[in-house]
Amino acid sequence: MTFVERYGPWALVTGASAGIGAEFARQLSEKGLNLVLVARRRQRLEDLARDLESRNKVQVRIVTVDLSQPDFLPTILSVTNSIEIGLLVNNAGFGLAGHLIEHELEKELQLLDVNCRAPLVLTHVFGRQMAQRKRGGIIFVSSVSAYIATPFEASYAASKVYELFLAESLGYEFKMKGVDMLALCPGSTDTEFHEIAGSRPVAAMAVEPVVRLALKKLGKTSVAIPGWHNRLLVYLLKFTPRRVHTYFAGKVMANLVAP
Ligand SMILES: NC(=O)c1ccc[n+]([C@@H]2O[C@H](COP(=O)([O-])OP(=O)(O)OC[C@H]3O[C@@H](n4cnc5c(N)ncnc54)[C@H](OP(=O)(O)O)[C@@H]3O)[C@@H](O)[C@H]2O)c1
């Protein structure tokens, strides 16, 4: 079965206006999938859609929606109800660096909605359709942060645990329904993420190999960690107590939070 037969004809990518999501859109269109691109910034989505349509001869639809809003689903369904979504990429997300109590509670709740609630809602809707067709795939963009309780990025790391556990648990449930699940766990990656979170990146990887690994591992394994240094880190964590991880994560993050 080809990639398009397994995961086509349409892929829906959230957070496609920048960074890892835009790269998913590029690589999936190169594989011949039509795309539904979801984010808030319309101009960016339109520019990307035009580029991918002309370059890779695929169809692209865009949905400008705020995934932190409780009523985002009908807007997405109005664009997808006549097409088959064979691949869902739950990528949209953001972090908030610094002391939790210094952040607006409203912003922390938006983080939960975008990083956890939206992937759950979309997985419920499109996962159900995929299970009925007995084929498809869902990618959750989690993080290496899911493996380390992270002071000064506490709720972000916790939200990424949610995505990792959801992907791994649902991977078991959906296997018998013919649907592949993958948790992609990047380390620091060169995107707008850090600027928005209010932190500085360290040893950031380019987006291209991060996404390439995810598309290579989909259907073959349940978790993909891009970069040998990130894989080594996660491996070494197995041999040290969790409180030690948290201690060092706190030391590192204290220096990375933007003043
Ligand atoms: N970069 C890293 O170091 C890193 C490491 C591990 C995991 N990740 C994960 O990778 C994923 C993608 O992040 P990125 O690094 O590519 O960051 P990015 O460049 O900041 O892109 C984030 C994307 O999410 C979208 N988004 C954010 N809030 C949204 C909202 N309320 N509604 C709809 N869309 C929203 C943004 O679109 P609009 O602003 O246009 O809405 C944008 O397209 C995230 O889940 C992040 O946690 C990143």
Q: Give the Å distance between the CA of 86 and the centre of ligand 1.
A: 22
- Total Cβ atoms within 10 A of residue 93: 26
Q: Give the Å distance between the CA of 19 and the centre of ligand 1.
A: 7
Q: Which tens digits make up the pLDDT trace of 23-78?
A: 999 999 999 999 999 999 999 999 999 999 999 999 999 999 999 999 999 999 99
Point out the residues that are catalytic.
156
Q: Give the Å distance between the CA of 39 and the centre of ligand 1.
A: 9
C-alpha distances out from residue 24 to 13, 37, 233, 236, Å: 7, 10, 25, 29
Q: ∠ CA(5), CA(181), CA(174), 5° rounding?
A: 90
Q: Which tens digits make up the pLDDT trace of 96-149?
A: 999 999 999 999 999 999 999 999 999 999 999 999 999 999 999 999 999 999
Please give all residues whose beta carbon lies within 6 A of any atom in ligand 1, as ranges.
Answer: 15-21, 39-41, 66-68, 91-94, 114, 141, 143, 186, 188-189, 191-193, 196
Distance of alpha carbon 164 from alpha carbon 149, whole angstroms: 14
